Structure formats: C-alpha cells, structure tokens
C-alpha cells in the first residue's frame, strides 16, 4: 500500500514539475472549422468603419489609414487569398469622416467619402476599374454646415446617398450620384429634433428606404423610417423601434440588407432598462408590414455578411478580455449557434464580413502594441487543423498537467460555489423535508428521492434568494452536469444505510458540490 | 485488511465520480464542440418545474 501511495505521489510531482510538461495558464479554444487569424494591414479607427466587399476580382477593402485624424489616407486594397494584390491611395492627408465603397455590375469600384477642410465640409466621389490605372477626384457637394454620417446604396450606375447635415438642426438629406454629379438633393426630415446616422437601401421594386436615429429630450432615441414616393416626396417618418445615445456615441449605425422581398434592419439598443447594448432587429415585408423590435444578442456594431442569400450576422460583444467578435446565422427568427471568432486575450472590434460561394470571411480590428490598429481576417474556407486536446480546451503540449490543473482548480472553485449556495441548500432542504413528511414520497427508492431533492434544489436556485451559479454553457452541458451530479451522488451515497437528517444534509451538500464541479469545468478551462 | 479494502473502494468510487465525470464532460466537448458561454435560456425554469411536477406526480399513479 505504501508503495502504491509513493508511486501516486511521484506521478503527480512529475506531472506538475517536469520541465517539458509545464502547461500554459491559458489556452485558446479555437472556433471549430475556422481558419487561423491573419493580419492584413495597418489602419486607423478615425472613420466610423472600414468597408469590405467581394466580387470575381477579389475582396476589396476601403479604409482610412493614418495616425493623426487630420492627415488620413483613403486607401483601397484588393485582397486575394489573404494576400494584398493592389493598394491605391485615393486621397492623401485629409480629415476624412464617412466613407462608402460600392461595386457596379461591370466590376467598377465607386467610392464616396466626406471631408472637413478649413472652408467647410464636402462630399467627394471617385470611381475606377480593376486593375487600377487612375482615378478622378470629384467634389460633388460642399457646405458650410456640418456634414456627417454619409451612407449609400449602389444600384447599377446610380448611387443613392444619404447624410446628416446641420441646417439649424441636424436633418437627413438624400441625393443620387450619377455621371460624376450629385442630383435630386432632397431633405427627408423636417424636425427640431436631432436626426443622425442615416442608412439607405432599395427594396425589390427599386424604392429607396431610409432609416435613421432621432434624438429628442423627451423620448430618447427613436429609430425612424421613410420611403421615397413616386413624386420625389418622402413618406411621413414612422417609428420602427428604440435606439440609445450610447450606441450613437460609440459610432453605431443602422445596418440594412435585403433578403428576397424582405428588408432587415439591425442596430444596437438597451434592453429592459439595463445599460448593456443588445443587437436589435426589425423586418419589413413586401407589403410594408413592420415586425416588432427583436433583441437578438448582447453586443453592438452588428453587420450582415455581404453576399449571402440568408441572413448571417457578425457583431462585437463584451468578453473576458475586452470585446469579442461573434458570428451566427439567423434562422427561424433567432440566432443559431453563436461562435466567438476572436480567441485570445486581445480585444477585437468593428467586424465586417463577406461571403465567397458559401464560405464566410470576417474581418475586424485589433489594437497594434506598437501604434495604431491592424485589420485581421478569419474564414471558414480553410479550417485550421486542431488536435482533440485543443478541441476540448486542453493544452496539447502538456495535456496531463493541464488536466490536473483543471481538475484541482474546478475542485477548489466548486467548494467556494457550494458554500455560497448555502441559502439554496437550506431552503431546498426544508422543502425536501416537508415533502418527505408524506409517506408516499418518504417510502420511495433512494434514487427517486435523490432525483426529487436535486430538482427541488435546481428550482430553488431560481428563487430571488442569494445564490451563485456557474456560467451557462448551453442546455446540453447544463443537463449533463445535472445528470452527472445525480449519478455521482447516488454512487457515493447508495451504500449509506442510515437515512436520518445528517445523511440528508450530507446528500444535499454532495449533490450541490458535484453539480457545481461539473458546471464549472468549461469556465475553468476558459479562465 | 477488510477496512483497508473498504477505504480503497471508497477512494476509487470518489475518483471514478470526479475523473469519470470530467472525462464524460470533455467527451461531450469532442462530440458537440466546445460549448459557447451565453445567457441561460428563459425556458429553463419551466423545464425544471415540469420535471419537478412529473417527479411529484409519479408516486401518485403507481
């Protein structure tokens, strides 16, 4: 027996202190079926967003690069298989604000951007073909008023443009760019409230629909919608949902996409009086019916994956190490299988995504430790090969040492969680005791009574009483933790003959401990 | 000797519960992918309440 103990101790010491098996303190759980993350180029965060679109000539990126907000370069890049093929500076050393990239049906690139100069604001336009030879810079609109939040939609050779302009109050303006000129400059709003962050899309019949955010002192932020009528007038604005100033301050916009006859609108707003941002969705069907505002997931800056036939979303959401980039398909009115794409300890933000065939490419920004920001990309076309150990979150370089660490950490944390659930155990124990006063329950098998006790404890933990629970990792894991705790308690307690109060208390504590232990495993791995 | 054997039996049972359970949880990650951390689903309380009702009702119909 002494020999067995000695061997056991020796194995544990070897696992813990052997040089080649020292586990890392953190392991990245890679998103299954996704590629490595590739850094593409350095950029800035001075403009609200960067643009990425794909066509037969490759992926096109439009971004504002530079380190000083008054000296930014407007840069267009073509990327093929994660290699930059072409890089063109379209505008150099200017104070750039909004930008837009469109591709027409002849693969010509159309770029619109807004600038601030000493003599006021301007909206600028250029177009060019690929391979790039040259481009002409057209100043298509100037104003002494503040011009901000430009957004556009390209349909064949016409670009439908909207922006917010301070004309005593901020109003939404609409115009069309055709033959290098701005036409039909129209004012969509006429209100004393502040109308900002417009977005535009054309429905399947070619009618422009504009959405924007309107802030007022009395009603907070409203999301409004208007469509262009046949006489070049605009319909009365209709409220489609609520937004939040928090989202406006963080540079949020209303993202629009068309799937068949339906228009989908996404933005971020708070939910149930809380302060956290949630991705909100509203749908318009072809008859003009507007759905209720849905709250899809915690997060902001949601984008539709460009080029898909069904809605797929990327957005940023708070994670353990800052913001994370998440991806999910929108199926049957909910997000299906959310995935965190930006693993690691660096915050990732401002996602944009496009589709090649059925493969999704997602880009986002990471802060560069040196200076500025770097655009990174991931895709599900070339999945990264991951080992089974890595698949379950265990370091493949030192799996047993890491497993031992996970086991000990979970073991210790489960103790703390059990102690913190003392009120749940107390209330659950009292209810269980009351139920057992009826002989019909008291005379049942031990497994039945244990099942009853465990489900009473689960229900009691939902009561508004002090309780602590591990993070939720899906219904399957939750159910598995419950079943394993039940079977484990049964195995450990089945031989105990005396079923007095002391044994019942011990059973409650053991079940609670085992449930916390099995629930905490993924949380400890991710810690 | 019998007491010593009983102690080892208990020790192995405890080890089986903890390590076997850990193995099964990791196995579920291999089969279904590493689970995604999220908000508890709102229907969970109803599932648990229904289970409780079924368990309470079972002896009445035996």
Residue A393 has pLDDT above 90, yes or no: no
Which of B11, B14, B36, B56 should be substituted to probe chain A, the one whose Cβ sees the most A Cβ atoms within 10 Å? B36
Query: CB distance from B53 to chain A under 8 Å?
Result: no
- Confidence tier at A28 by pLDDT (50, 70, 90): low
B window 12-41, beta carbon within 8 A of A: 13-14, 16-19, 21-22, 24-26, 28-30, 32-41
A44-48, A63-67, A512-516, range with greatest mean pLDDT: A512-516
Q: Which residues of B touch A484 (CB under 8 A)?
A: 21, 24-25
Neighbours of A459 (CB within 10 A): 17
pLDDT at position A371 is 87
Q: What is the 3-state secondary structure (H, E, C) of A309-367?
A: CCCEEEEEEEECCEEEEEEEEEECCEEEEEEECCCCCCCEEEEEEEEECCEEEEEEEEE
For residues A376 and A362, the answer to whether their CB atoms sit within 8 Å is no
Residue A8 has pLDDT above 70, yes or no: no
Residues B26, A340: C-beta atoms closer than 8 Å: no
A373: its two tokens: 């920001």
B19: its two tokens: 């390590």
B44 min Cα distance to partner chain A (Å): 8
Q: Which residues of A touch B2 (CB under 8 A)?
A: none
Biggest CA-to-CA distance, chain A = 95
Proportion of chain A above pLDDT 70, given as a percent: 94
Residues A481, B25: C-beta atoms closer than 8 Å: yes
Residues B45, A459: C-beta atoms closer than 8 Å: yes
Rounded to whole angstroms, how far apart are CA atoms A511 and A516? 9
A238-290 tens-digit pLDDT: 999 999 999 999 889 999 999 999 999 999 999 877 889 999 999 998 888 89
A window 418-457, beta carbon within 8 A of B: 435, 440-441, 444, 448, 451-452, 455-456
Q: What's the ipTM?
A: 0.94
A430: its two tokens: 């009292």
- Confidence tier at A20 by pLDDT (50, 70, 90): very low
Please compute the mean of the pLDDT values over residues A231-238 and round it to a whole number.
89
Torsion of CA A284, A285, A289, A294, to 10 degrees: -50
Nearest CA-CA partner of A224 in A250, A257, A190, A274:
A190
The three-state secondary structure class of A79 is strand
Nearest CA-CA partner of A159 in A169, A167, A150, A168:
A150
A128-157 tens-digit pLDDT: 999 899 999 999 999 999 999 999 999 888
Between A322 and A64, name the one with better pLDDT.
A64
Q: Which of A59-63, A341-345, A347-351 has the lowest mean pLDDT?
A: A341-345
Residue A380 has pLDDT above 80, yes or no: yes
Query: CB distance from B4 to chain A under 8 Å?
Result: yes
A3 min Cα distance to partner chain B (Å): 14
Residue A9 has pLDDT above 50, yes or no: yes
Q: Which residue from A minimizes the CA distance to B1?
A: A1
Q: Which residues of A touch B23 (CB under 8 A)?
A: none
Query: CB distance from B48 to chain A under 8 Å?
Result: yes
A104: its two tokens: 């027409």
Residue A12 has pLDDT above 90, yes or no: no
Nearest CA-CA partner of A63 in A89, A27, A26, A25:
A89
Q: Which residues of B touch A458 (CB under 8 A)?
A: 48
H or E element in which residue A441 lies: helix A439-442
B4-62 tens-digit pLDDT: 788 888 899 999 999 999 999 999 998 888 887 777 888 889 999 999 999 999 998 87
* Residues 6+ away with beta carbon under 8 Å from A223: A211, A212, A213, A214, A239, A240, A241, A242, A243, A254, A265, A267, A269, A282
Distance of CA A351 to the CA centre of its chain: 8
A61-97 tens-digit pLDDT: 999 999 898 999 999 999 988 889 999 999 999 999 9
Give me the sheet containing A169-178, strands edge to edge: A147-155, A158-167, A169-178, A181-187
Residues B17, A452: C-beta atoms closer than 8 Å: no
Query: CB distance from A334 to chain B under 8 Å?
Result: no
H or E element in which residue A147 lies: strand A147-155
Residues A452, B56: C-beta atoms closer than 8 Å: yes
Phi, psi of A475 (to 5 degrees): -65, -35
Q: Which among A392, A459, A522 has CB closest to B52?
A: A459
Please compute the mean of the pLDDT values over residues A434-463 and round it to a whole number.
93
Residue A392 has pLDDT above 90, yes or no: no
Which of B17, B31, B43 should be substituted to probe chain A, the one whose Cβ sees the most A Cβ atoms within 10 Å? B17
Q: Which among B17, B37, B41 has CB closest to A488?
A: B17
Q: Which residues of B touch A474 (CB under 8 A)?
A: 35-36, 38
Between A17 and A190, name the one with better pLDDT.
A190
Average pLDDT, chain A: 90
Proportion of chain A above pLDDT 90, given as a percent: 68
Query: CB distance from A479 to chain B under 8 Å?
Result: no
Q: Is A457 exposed, middle or buried (0-12, 13-18, 19+ CB in 10 A)?
A: buried
Q: Are strands A138-143 and A147-155 parallel, antiparallel or unpaired?
A: unpaired
Q: Which among B36, B56, B59 has CB closest to A474?
A: B36
Q: Which among B16, B30, B60 has CB closest to A392?
A: B30
Query: Rounded to two decimals, what is the model's pTM?
Result: 0.76
Rounded to whole angstroms, how far apart are CA atoms A462 and B45? 7
């Amino acid at each position: 027996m002494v020999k067995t103990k000695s061997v056991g101790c020796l194995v544990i010491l070897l696992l813990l202190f052997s040089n080649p098996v020292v586990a890392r303190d953190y392991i990245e759980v890679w998103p299954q079926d996704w590629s490595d993350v590739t850094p593409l180029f350095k950029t800035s965060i001075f403009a609200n967003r960067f643009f990425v679109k794909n066509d037969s000539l490759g992926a096109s990126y439009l971004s504002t690069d530079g380190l000083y907000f008054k000296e930014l370069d407007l840069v267009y890049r073509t990327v093929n298989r994660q290699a930059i093929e072409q890089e063109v500076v379209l505008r150099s050393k200017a104070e750039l604000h909004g930008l837009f990239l469109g591709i027409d049906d002849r693969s010509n690139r159309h770029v619109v951007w807004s600038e601030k100069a000493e003599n006021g604001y301007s909206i600028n336009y250029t177009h060019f073909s690929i391979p790039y030879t040259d481009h002409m810079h057209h100043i298509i609109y100037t104003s002494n008023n503040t011009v901000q939040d430009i957004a556009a939609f390209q349909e064949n050779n016409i670009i439908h443009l909207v922006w917010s302009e301070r004309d005593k109050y901020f109003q939404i303006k609409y115009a069309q760019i055709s033959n290098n000129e701005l036409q039909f400059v129209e004012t969509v709003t006429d209100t004393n409230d502040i109308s900002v962050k417009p977005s535009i899309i054309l429905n399947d019949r070619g009618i422009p629909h504009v959405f924007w955010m309107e802030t007022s002192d009395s009603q907070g932020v409203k999301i409004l919608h208007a469509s262009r009528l046949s006489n070049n007038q605009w319909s009365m604005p209709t409220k489609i949902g609520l937004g939040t100033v928090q989202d406006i301050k963080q540079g949020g916009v209303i993202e629009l996409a068309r799937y068949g006859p339906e228009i989908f609108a996404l933005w971020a707003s708070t939910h149930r009086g809380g302060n956290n941002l949630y991705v909100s969705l509203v749908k318009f069907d072809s008859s003009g019916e507007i759905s209720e505002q849905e709250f899809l997931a915690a997060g902001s800056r949601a984008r539709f994956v460009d080029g898909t036939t069904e809605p797929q979303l990327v957005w940023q959401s708070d994670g353990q190490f800052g913001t994370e980039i998440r991806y999910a398909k929108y199926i049957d009115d909910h997000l299906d299988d959310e995935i965190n794409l930006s693993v690691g300890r660096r915050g990732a933000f401002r996602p944009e995504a496009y589709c090649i065939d059925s493969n999704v490419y997602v880009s986002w920004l990471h802060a560069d430790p040196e200076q500025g920001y770097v655009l990174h990309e991931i895709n599900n076309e070339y999945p990264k090969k991951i080992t089974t150990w890595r698949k379950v979150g265990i370091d493949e370089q030192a799996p047993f040492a890491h497993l031992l660490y996970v086991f000990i950490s979970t073991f210790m944390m489960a103790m703390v969680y059990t102690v913190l659930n003392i009120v749940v155990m107390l209330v659950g124990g009292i209810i269980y005791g009351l139920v057992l006063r009826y002989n019909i329950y008291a005379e049942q098998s031990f497994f039945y009574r244990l099942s009853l006790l465990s489900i009473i404890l689960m229900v009691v933990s939902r009561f508004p009483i002090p309780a602590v629970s591990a993070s939720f990792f899906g219904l399957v894991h939750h159910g598995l933790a419950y079943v394993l705790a039940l079977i484990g308690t049964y195995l450990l307690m089945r031989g105990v003959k005396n079923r007095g109060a002391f044994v019942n208390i011990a059973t409650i504590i053991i079940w609670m401990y085992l449930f916390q232990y099995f629930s905490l495993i993924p949380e400890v791995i991710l810690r | 000797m019998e007491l010593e054997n009983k102690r080892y039996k208990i020790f192995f049972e405890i080890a089986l519960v903890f390590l076997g359970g850990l193995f099964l949880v990791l196995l579920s990650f291999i089969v279904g992918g590493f689970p995604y951390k999220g908000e508890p689903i709102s229907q969970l309380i109803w599932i648990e309440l229904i289970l409780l009702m079924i368990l309470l009702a079972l002896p009445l119909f035996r």
